[in-house]
Chain A
Amino acid sequence: MALSPNLSTSRWFQLAAVIALAGVFVFPLWQITLEAAQFPGGLQMHIWINKVSGSDKHIVKNINILNHYIGMQAIHPESIPELKYFPFVAYAMMALGLLGIWINKVWYYGFWFLLLAILGALGIYDFYLWLYDYGHNLDPKAPIEVPGMSYMPPLLGEKDLLNFYVKSYPHFGGLGLGLAVLLGFASFWTKWKFNKMQ
């Protein structure tokens, strides 16, 4: 059966987009896994919209202990400002999304999904900058110095960093964000189709 949008299809897509976006409060956005012989199962660090956690509650502390040997700054989630205001951005986008269900106009759906896509891209760029800073801004008095070596984890993919094999991929929250953009686009597209059919 071909998709034949009716009066409320776009609204349903928009609602689904808001629910998918709400996933960023339920699941981490990103997961960075550090694998080494001495750490069976690896160390999993989870980056959420509002916190940094891991496979156990001491993971950030334990990664900081390891990182200090190569002069990386300690990760102090409480001093990362993004973790404080990103949740409000997400809440605002969810509110604007719900507003779209009520307005139900093609231009509004277009505006919402484009805004979400731009904010998402900016968020990833910001994450990249943090990773770059952690990886390159090293303490000159670090006990272990490898000439020419930097420790930036990959934004997406896998990489060898000294004794660790580092994997970096989106987690469910990050995938939910991507899905929200696609669903937002779907509500825009179905609305546009519906208007054309009228």
Chain B
Amino acid sequence: MITKSLKMVTAATALLALLYSCGGSDTGQMMEGDAAQQAYVAPGEYDEYYAFMSGGYSGQITAYGLPSGRLLKEIPVFSQYPENGYGYSEETKPMFNTSYGFVPWDDSHHIELSQTEGEFDGRWLFVNGNNTPRIARIDLTTFETVEILEIPDVAGLHCAPFITENSEYLVSGTRFSVPIPQKDVPIDTYKENFKGLINYVTVDPEHGHMDLAFQIEMPGFNYDLARNGKAVSHGWSFVTTYNSEQEHTLLEVNASQKDKDLMAVINWKKAEEYLEQGKFTERETSYFHNLMDEGSGIVNSTERTTTRILDPKECPDMVYFIPVPKSPHGCDVDPTGEYIVGNGKLSADMSVYSFSKIMKAIEDENFDGEFDGIPIINYEAALHGIVEKPGLGPLHTEFDGRGNAYTTFFISSEVVKWDVVSKEILDRQPTFYSPGHLVIPGGETRNPDGKYLVAMNKITKDRYLPTGPELAHSAQLFDISGDKMKLILDFPTKAEPHYAQAIAADKIQPNSVKFFDIESNTHPHATMGESRSRVERKGNEVHVYMTAIRSHLAPDNIEGIKLGDQVYFHLTNLEQDWDVPHGLAIQGATNAELLVMPGQTRTLLWEPKRQGVFAFYCTDFCSALHQEMSGYIRVSPQGSDVPLKWGLNEELHNDEEAALEFQENARKLANSQ
């Protein structure tokens, strides 16, 4: 059945594509003569922009250089990353704590860079986890995930984490409405039991720490995407919804019946007033806040148990709806803050709203009824105009700061440039194939840098050499500085980038940390100097205080470990130079390796499974004698009298006292059994 309907959709799509792509040029002819030169960044030269792309089902973020399309780094966020031990090391494991327990994966969708006065400030980057609703913060001085906040009582946090122009709030909404609080009810009681929440998370302006300020309880729709007002519309949020039919099964048909769905228009300054007046209800719930301590690199995880709910029925003038043609996806606000583009993904036309007209309609109470006590603004009264037949399947729009908008069309596989005020279509270029989001550096800010545009495609097919059934996604870079968009680069991307944001390199590059200052390392298990490296036993817990510096680990010979021990390797990298990480791999480790940056301490738990002598070594080719950077750990049977010893190029130290204590404990244990 599924296959059959998929085939039908594909056939219909192909037909529509045929209808709409007349005049499209041959893909091979697209590259112009000097295109390669425009995207060329000579060896040793730097890119002009960083582009941060979400990883979709990888749960991570990738950083690319533009215009070269060079992959600079994959930043692990919502998925464990054995490559450097993120989510495996004792310090970072708590980053994955949620009210569901340890969740080692998520689906990351939308990148939001922190803003000051409507422009990117290059401090932090936020991204949502879709599946187990979470928002993460990445510090752009270290390119590390430093905080994850769970969002309670929502399902599928797709509509997230959209930022306001001074990073006051990260706004998010539930993609799937669910019973709130969760309860065991028949699914077909959707209309009576299911609700949606729109969440406002504050960002501390000094440290970036996130905090759930309040949640607005909304009708049970699917909240899809949002944007916040800027400049004239600052203080307002715009949230698209679909499934205003409130169906719970075969959504592709049942949620596509109405001619128009609804976009929520939220006055968050009003919400702040209601909050101040105490017009909220406090509800018991459970969600986790995981924050990395800067000095030690240790993640502290705390459970939070209350949330504040605002109900639009009791808080008038806070939330409105406005009709949007058929199942809208993105809603995007132009740099002036006046125009809001509703991308109705199943509609042939696009609606552009005017903020001042919305305000006027609200003032005149020009409403077309209400839904659940929320007034519905008259569609025509708020409309700036309609972009007629721009293409098929509009998804997302970005702006160039010169009065133009650029919209991706999934079904007709193209990017279309149009004039925001006149709504006139100016240019269209095919993409390969079926773009989702697009990004222009600063394209969602008050001050876009309209030089490049990257379209991120959902379908790759024949763009690159084939790699079996699973293909990298494809992206195309366009030069948009002229009247016509010009394709200048085509490059594969990791996993599935949804949204991306790009920022001028000089807002990030000067602040990039080269290494961690070892004098600021406050890790309780740090080893400050090779002479302090040691091994300590506490019952069946063994703590190895190990240091790494070119080209040896200290200690590199360890004896006196027994089967049944839990051995914690606390590795401190003593280097204080740029780009000298050291790794630690231990034979038989059932978790991962550690990759430790200079000045940092990281801990890996190793539980020996057999007796014998096992090797460990540095995994990062750190120096000419990297291959020599290794050691041995001896594992003896339980109850053996091999004393605890350790050393580096010397007689092994003998911790007689610790050994005796252990024997004493072992004897007690044996007697008690």
Question: B624, A61: Cβ atoms under 8 Å?
Answer: no
Among B549, B576, B577, B625, point to the contact of A143 (Cβ < 8 A).
B625
Question: B549, A144: Cβ atoms under 8 Å?
Answer: no
Contacts of B623 in A (CB 8 A): 69
Question: B577, A69: Cβ atoms under 8 Å?
Answer: no
B550 at the interface (CB under 8 A from A): yes
Question: B624, A144: Cβ atoms under 8 Å?
Answer: yes
Contacts of B624 in A (CB 8 A): 69, 143-144
Contacts of B549 in A (CB 8 A): 65
> When each residue 32-65 of chain A gets 1 if its CB lies under 8 Å from chain B and 0 otherwise, what string results?
0000000000000000000000000010011001
Docked CA distance A144–B577 (Å): 22
Question: A58, B576: Cβ atoms under 8 Å?
Answer: yes
Contacts of B575 in A (CB 8 A): 65
- Tell me how far the C-beta of A71 lies from the nearest C-beta in chain B, rounded to whole angstroms: 13
Docked CA distance A62–B622 (Å): 13
Question: B625, A62: Cβ atoms under 8 Å?
Answer: no
Docked CA distance A61–B625 (Å): 18
Contacts of A144 in B (CB 8 A): 624
Closest-by-CB residue of A relative to B574 is A61
Closest-by-CB residue of A relative to B625 is A143
* Secondary structure class of chain B's binding surface, majority of residues: loop
Docked CA distance A61–B576 (Å): 8
Closest-by-CB residue of B relative to A163 is B624
Docked CA distance A69–B624 (Å): 9
Contacts of B551 in A (CB 8 A): 69
Docked CA distance A58–B577 (Å): 7
Query: A residues near B, CB below 8 A?
Result: 58, 61-62, 65, 69, 143-144
- Tell me how far the C-beta of B263 lies from the nearest C-beta in chain A, rounded to whole angstroms: 52
Question: B625, A65: Cβ atoms under 8 Å?
Answer: no
Docked CA distance A69–B628 (Å): 12
Max chain A Cβ within 10 angstroms of own Cβ: one of B550, B577, B624, B625: B577
Docked CA distance A61–B517 (Å): 14
Contacts of A143 in B (CB 8 A): 624-625, 628
Closest-by-CB residue of B relative to A43 is B577
Contacts of B550 in A (CB 8 A): 65
Closest-by-CB residue of B relative to A38 is B579
Closest-by-CB residue of B relative to A141 is B649
Docked CA distance A12–B625 (Å): 59
Closest-by-CB residue of A relative to B518 is A58
8 A-B residue pairs with CB within 8 Å: A58-B577, A61-B576, A62-B576, A65-B577, A69-B623, A143-B624, A143-B628, A144-B624
Contacts of B628 in A (CB 8 A): 143
- Tell me how far the C-beta of B600 lies from the nearest C-beta in chain A, rounded to whole angstroms: 15
- Tell me how far the C-beta of B667 lies from the nearest C-beta in chain A, rounded to whole angstroms: 44
Closest-by-CB residue of B relative to A66 is B550
Contacts of A61 in B (CB 8 A): 576
- Tell me how far the C-beta of A7 lies from the nearest C-beta in chain B, rounded to whole angstroms: 56
> When each residue 544-561 of chain B gets 1 if its CB lies under 8 Å from chain A and 0 otherwise, what string results?
000001110000000000
- Tell me how far the C-beta of B70 lies from the nearest C-beta in chain A, rounded to whole angstroms: 18
Docked CA distance A58–B549 (Å): 14
Lowest 6 A-B CB distances belong to which pairs?
Answer: A58-B576, A62-B577, A65-B550, A143-B625, A61-B576, A58-B577
Docked CA distance A69–B629 (Å): 13
> When each residue 621-656 of chain B gets 1 if its CB lies under 8 Å from chain A and 0 otherwise, what string results?
001110010000000000000000000000000000
Docked CA distance A62–B579 (Å): 12
Max chain A Cβ within 10 angstroms of own Cβ: one of B576, B623, B628: B576
Q: A69-B625, A143-B624 are in contact. List 11 more A-B contacts (CB 8 A).
A: A58-B577, A61-B576, A62-B576, A62-B577, A65-B549, A65-B550, A65-B577, A69-B623, A69-B624, A143-B628, A144-B624
Docked CA distance A108–B576 (Å): 51
